[in-house]
Structure 1
Amino acid sequence: MARLRYLDSARADFLSILDYVYRESGDVALARQFLEKLRGHCRHLASLPGHMGRPRPELRPDVRSVAVGSYVIFFRYVGDDFQVINVLEGHRDIDAYFGKTE
């Protein structure tokens, strides 16, 4: 099992998601529950053998992703670490976010 690590960028995304769900729902418990669901998916991915997710070489050579509802978890494997890079809402311009504009 890989060691799960959240990069600062992913931690910032989680705070933004928590804030967004709270503002939209007005329910802090619901916002925390949703965030825990996303973090649970990250834990599950880290626990699986091999390399999971879809390779995303168009973003960066080492990035992979998995969709969870309307969100996308971006991660990479580095040695024994499963590093969560970002957790973004799927309707965002992902290419632009990762600096890939054509």
Structure 2
Amino acid sequence: MPRLRYTAAAQDNILDILVFITHQSGSQKVALQFTGQLRQKCANLAALPGQMGRPRSELRDDMRNFAFRGYVIFFRYIDDAFEVLNVLEGHRDFDTHFNGEE
């Protein structure tokens, strides 16, 4: 089973999601619950055999993604790790984000 790791960008994304949901819902508890579920989904994906998710070679050769409750988890399999690269809101322009135009 690949070990799960998060890039600094993915950690920042999850923190931004926490802040956003806290602000929108008025409840840090709700936000912590959601980000906990998001992290659990990443752990579940890492634990599954084989390669999961949709290949996203148009964005980056080794990248895949998986949708989760309005967000998209971008990840790759590298060596013995399942590496979460970014977690972005599903309506974002991913081409712009990954081509450094943001």
TM-score (norm 2): 0.96
Deviations 1:58-90 (A, max 9, x none): 000000000001100000000110000000000
2:39 corresponds to: 39
Query: Structure 2: where are the runs of 5+ without partners?
Result: none
Give the 3-state SS of the residue equivalent to 2:57 in structure 1.
Answer: coil
Instruction: Give the AA of the match of 1:53.
Output: G
1:54 corresponds to: 54
Report if the CA contact (8 A) 1:59-1:100 is conserved: no
Instruction: Give the AA of the match of 1:66.
Output: F
Matches within 5 A, 1:15-94: 15-94=15-94
Q: Which stretches of structure 1, 4 residues or longer, exceed 3 Å deviation after superposition? A: none
Identity %: 52
Give the 3-state SS of the residue equivalent to 1:60 in structure 2.
Answer: coil
Deviation of residue 100 (structure 1)?
7.3
Question: d(CA) in 1 for partners of 2:100 and 2:35?
Answer: 28
Question: d(CA) in 2 for partners of 1:6 and 1:100?
Answer: 20
Query: Structure 1: where are the runs of 5+ without partners?
Result: none
For the aligned residue pairs, the C-alpha RMSD in angstroms reads: 1.1
Report the count of equivalent residues: 101
1:97 corresponds to 2:97: yes
Deviation of residue 16 (structure 1)?
0.2
